[in-house]
Amino acid sequence: MPTHKGTPAQIGAWVRGHWSIENGLHWRRDVTWNEDKSQVRTGHAPRVMATLRNIAITILKQLGHNNVAKATRKIRNYPEQALELIGFNAP
C-alpha cells in the first residue's frame, strides 16, 4: 500500500515492525556473534552463515533461552551439548 493511503497509525506500526526485526534478530547476530566483523565475503558463504546463525537463534529460543548471548556462552565450549540440543546424540 502506498504510504499516502495509510493512516499514521498504520505507517507507525510498519516502521516499528521493521525495527523490531532489526533490533531483535540482526542485533543478536551482530552483537552475540560479531557478524559485522566476519571475513566471510565471497560467493554464497555470507548468506549461508547468516542462515546458520538464524537457525541457531531460533533453536535456542524454542528451547526456552531468552538470552541468546548467555546460552551461547554456556554451550560454546561443549559442542556435544549443542548437538544434543538439536537431537543429535554423540556415540
pLDDT in tens, 3-40: 678 888 888 888 777 666 666 677 788 888 888 898 99
pLDDT of residue 79: 80
CA 83 to chain centroid:
18
pLDDT of residue 6: 84
Are the beta carbons of 82 and 75 closer than 8 angstroms? yes
Are the beta carbons of 32 and 72 closer than 8 angstroms? yes
Residue 78 pLDDT greater than 90, yes or no: no
Rounded Cα distance, 85 and 82, in Å: 5
Cell numbers standing for residue 18: 521493521
Residue 43 pLDDT greater than 90, yes or no: yes
| Interaxial angle between packed helices 45-62 and 68-75, expressed in degrees from 0 to 180 and rounded to the nearest 10 | 100
Cell numbers standing for residue 60: 535456542
Are the beta carbons of 28 and 68 closer than 8 angstroms? yes
pLDDT of residue 48: 95
Does 12 or 42 have the greater pLDDT score?
Answer: 42
